[in-house]
Amino acid sequence: MESIRVLCIGDVVGEPGQALIARHLPKIKKQHAIDLTILNGENSSNQGRGITPKIAQDFYANGVDVITTGNHIWFRREIYPYLDEQPHLLRPANFPSGAPGRGVTILTIKGHAVAVINLQGRVFMKELVDCPLKAADSLLAYLRDKTKIIFVDYHAEATSEKEGLAYYLAGRVSGVVGTHTHVQTADERIIPGGTGYITDLGMVGSLNSMLGMQKEAIIQHFLTQLPVKFTVDANPPYVLSGVIMEVDTRTGRTIKIDRLRIIDEQPVENA
């Protein structure tokens, strides 16, 4: 049986997250014999929202193959033309068709076509995106004759919505990984039909923060309900989290899924 090993990394937050990817990703890929790396980069700018072409290029240089995003993709306007130019930087496919970029890409891994789909949820999310389930159906119809190896980054808030999409797609895709909440869940598993699943990959950023942001201002907001400025937390220790899936190239089914969680105590430069 031939298989490929796929690394999915949770939301990268700010300069600390960028630095951790540069520090750890090449070693992780070598240690775990990774064939494909998918990373969510929608929070990777220095402000903790959005991504720039320079940051995307740095991710590619450090071994990332596909960058997925979510609702914060539109925060940095300089990314708009780059989304149209770069096929492996995705935005959620269920945004209106007039939005820049694309929500699916196909690349060749070990001689096999592999597709990556990016979708966004609707529960507790303010964006008026199309139904993610119907969008998934449309994309799978497009991919039907192209590949059986398909991964979905579902950028959503509600656990129930993430599980719902995973069971809806069970047996039709290789893996569904949740992003957006930045808290790694302990429910990685292979659901019926051979689809690897985890509710949330977690994040890459400061561990003792609130979703990668300095906690003091956020707690003050909870106390007063007054608006505050969110600032990326640059303090160690840091966390890098995600999952590794092994997929049978003949069937497109996941045969193994493991959580990845690295704690790094060393300060990062320029953060």
Give the CATH number of the domain where residue 197 resides. 3.60.21.10
**Angle value at C-alpha 102, between 63 and 108, nearest 5 degrees:** 45
Asked if residue 221 belongs to a domain, the reply is no
Asked if residue 213 belongs to a domain, the reply is no
Instruction: Report, as residue numbers or ranges, the catalytic residues.
Output: 72
Q: What would the two tokens of residue 255 be? A: 């045969």
Separation of alpha carbons 168 and 154, rounded Å: 13
Asked if residue 71 belongs to a domain, the reply is yes
Domain residues for the domain of 114 are: 3-206+235-264
Please give the tally of structural domains in the chain: 1
pLDDT at site 270: 62
- Does residue 63 come out as left (phi exceeding 0), alpha (psi in the -120 to 50 range) or beta? left
pLDDT at site 132: 98
Q: Is the pLDDT reported for residue 56 higher than 80?
A: yes
Q: Is the pLDDT reported for residue 139 higher than 60?
A: yes
Q: Is the pLDDT reported for residue 7 higher than 60?
A: yes
How sure is the predictor about 228, in pLDDT bands with cuts at 50, 70 and 90? very high
pLDDT at site 271: 55
The mean per-residue pLDDT over the stretch 128-141 comes to 98
The answer to whether 24 and 264 have CB atoms below 8 angstroms apart is yes
pLDDT at site 269: 77
71 three-state secondary structure: helix
Of the chain, the percentage scoring pLDDT greater than 90 comes to: 98
The mean per-residue pLDDT over the stretch 1-28 comes to 98
Q: What tens digit of pLDDT does each residue of 148-187 get?
A: 999 999 999 999 999 999 999 999 999 999 999 999 999 9
Q: Please, which residues have CB within 8 angstroms of residue 155's CB and are 6 or more apart in sequence?
A: 40, 42, 68, 69, 70, 71, 92, 118, 119, 120, 121, 178, 179, 180
The mean per-residue pLDDT over the stretch 206-228 comes to 96
Q: What is the pTM of this model?
A: 0.97
Q: Is the pLDDT reported for residue 244 higher than 90?
A: yes
137 three-state secondary structure: helix
The mean per-residue pLDDT over the stretch 15-28 comes to 98
Asked if residue 229 belongs to a domain, the reply is no
Q: In the predicted model, what is the mean pLDDT of the chain? A: 97
Asked if residue 228 belongs to a domain, the reply is no
Q: Is the pLDDT reported for residue 58 higher than 70?
A: yes
Asked if residue 115 belongs to a domain, the reply is yes
pLDDT at site 1: 86
Asked if residue 222 belongs to a domain, the reply is no
Which of these, 46, 50, 104, lies nearest to 271 by C-alpha position? 46
Asked if residue 11 belongs to a domain, the reply is yes
